[in-house]
Amino acid sequence: MTKIIRLALVASYLWLFTPSLFAGIEQADIEQGDLEQANSKQTDSEQASSEQTSSAQEAEWIYYVKKGDTLWDFCNDYLGRNDVINCWKSVQQHNGIGIPKRLHPGVRLRIPISWIQNIPVAAVVEFARGEVRQKKYGASGTLPVVTGDQLHLGTRITVLDGGAVLRFNDGSELLLRHHSELFLQALTTHGNKSARSTLKLNRGSVDVDVPRRQGENRFRVLTPGAVAAVRGTEFRVSAKPDGLTTQVEVLEGGVDVAAGKGGQLVSEGFGVNAVKGQPVQTPVKLLPAPTFNGAKNRFDSGSVTLSWQAVVGASGYQLELYKGADGEAILYQQETAAAEYQFANLPVHAYRLVVRAIASDGLRGRDSAPFHFQTLQKLAAPVFDEASVSYKKRTLAINWSAVENTQYYLLEVSRNADFGEIDWSQQLAETTIAEPLDLRGTFYVRVKAVAEDGRESDYSAPTELKHQSLDWGAILASVAAVLLIAL
């Protein structure tokens, strides 16, 4: 009898503590309106809708049941709780589980994030510029975000000015633009075969690039009004200030968008405005990419004006100026109604500009090809050697200072101090001239340097010269007077 009792106790222990659990890990900080429905068989659109309407919960990790894992090892390895029995009971009660042995692979179980020993890293900051702040799970204050930071599950990132590029564990990259707030809600990995990321964009705009992979590679961006779900694509999402409207623009692949009942698949080259609680509108074709005018790509530092061909149907344009040929450092973002823009006070550097047209419904079109250009140190203005400036015997003789990186000098002569009309000009490779000219009265000279790429210096300060005409009447009278005296 004693042996039977012992065997029964061992069998009961194994039955209770070795259920097949936890295929993978989905970490999620569930805010109000973001709770997933456990064990559901919903479509993406239906699941997205339920995520926005459920009640508030504490931050959680979500685990998927998998054959071979044990709850005993899980409590020790992940939750750091030596009291395995109480750990198991807590998990059972929290998830409303009746009989743990009847759990099947794929069932989702929730674990409050406060139970987890080490909160996992959700993303790495590849670049940050401007005023970017982070608030970690459980923290009372915020910290600055800098390049190289590891962002953990439950972190909220706010960009007040500038921008940040985040890289996630599935290889996805996200550009968080200025005046935006992003919440790292959920991240799941199942070995190396698939990945799932869910983020909450409370306000602002993001650009997302999700790599294509086999299996269940899915990336979702939630806003207060909608959900965009993808498997591998490049797209933009904007949460408008009204808290109701979400814009989705698909540049590559496809995105499932849901805002209320049902949803829409937005294909490559299309966009949609989704309003919370309303059926998603039919996607519309994005405006084409603008084309830049002209081939000049080297400018003096300071003010630079660039233009592009107007796009039919555009009500305006969005510009993004980046520092460097390939970097993600957004220096400047602006909207303009005209098909040109003047940048003021650009320092010496290499830049690239991307422009997209904006339709009347607010959807942004395809990106232009990047326009690469450089700003260089402005050429110095030549300076006349005043001692060598002369006009004698009908010959103009001038020397001036040499200017680096100059292809030629342009010397101009005018009878007007404002050079409203040029009487004579010449291109010169040297910094000196002795030119026979027939000039009368008062005249002015100036010179400027011109580089091989067409950049020009300011003109030198103009120099005034005078040619004194002979008064032959006075001369003859003087000669006559001398002759009379001599006679």
CA neighbours within 13 Å on the CB side: how many for 131?
A: 5
CATH code for the domain in which residue 455 is found: 2.60.40.10
Whole-number pLDDT of residue 42:
38
- Please indicate, yes or no, whether residues 331 and 460 belong to a single structural domain of this protein: no
- Please indicate, yes or no, whether residues 311 and 402 belong to a single structural domain of this protein: no
80, part of any domain? yes
Mean pLDDT, residues 346-359 taken together: 94
Q: Could you read off the pLDDT of 63-105 as tens digits, one per residue?
A: 776 777 666 766 766 676 667 677 878 877 887 877 665 667 7
Domain that holds residue 356: 298-376
Cα 334 to the center of its chain, rounded Å? 12
368, part of any domain? yes
- Please indicate, yes or no, whether residues 38 and 92 belong to a single structural domain of this protein: yes
- In the listed set 334, 351, 376, which residue is the last one of a domain according to the structure? 376
- Please indicate, yes or no, whether residues 329 and 423 belong to a single structural domain of this protein: no
- Please indicate, yes or no, whether residues 310 and 448 belong to a single structural domain of this protein: no
- In the listed set 348, 376, 404, which residue is the last one of a domain according to the structure? 376
With CA atoms as reference, report the closest residue to 383 among 296, 447, 437. 447
- Please indicate, yes or no, whether residues 279 and 342 belong to a single structural domain of this protein: no
Higher pLDDT, 323 or 144: 144
225, part of any domain? yes
Give the count of domains, the chain.
4
Mean pLDDT, residues 210-224 taken together: 76
- In the listed set 328, 356, 376, which residue is the last one of a domain according to the structure? 376
481, part of any domain? no
- Please indicate, yes or no, whether residues 280 and 405 belong to a single structural domain of this protein: no
Most confident of 206-220, 326-340, 344-358: 344-358
Q: Could you read off the pLDDT of 187-196 as tens digits, one per residue?
A: 665 444 445 7
1, part of any domain? no
Higher pLDDT, 373 or 60: 373
- Please indicate, yes or no, whether residues 62 and 109 belong to a single structural domain of this protein: yes
Q: Could you read off the pLDDT of 235-268 as tens digits, one per residue?
A: 999 998 888 899 999 999 999 999 877 789 999 9
| pLDDT classification of 473: cutoffs 50, 70, 90 | low
- Please indicate, yes or no, whether residues 342 and 240 belong to a single structural domain of this protein: no
Q: Could you read off the pLDDT of 159-185 as tens digits, one per residue?
A: 998 889 999 877 889 999 989 999 988
206, part of any domain? yes
- pTM for the model stands at 0.71
292, part of any domain? no
253, part of any domain? yes
What's the mean per-residue pLDDT of the chain? 79
Whole-number pLDDT of residue 40:
33
- Please indicate, yes or no, whether residues 42 and 111 belong to a single structural domain of this protein: yes
- Please indicate, yes or no, whether residues 279 and 333 belong to a single structural domain of this protein: no
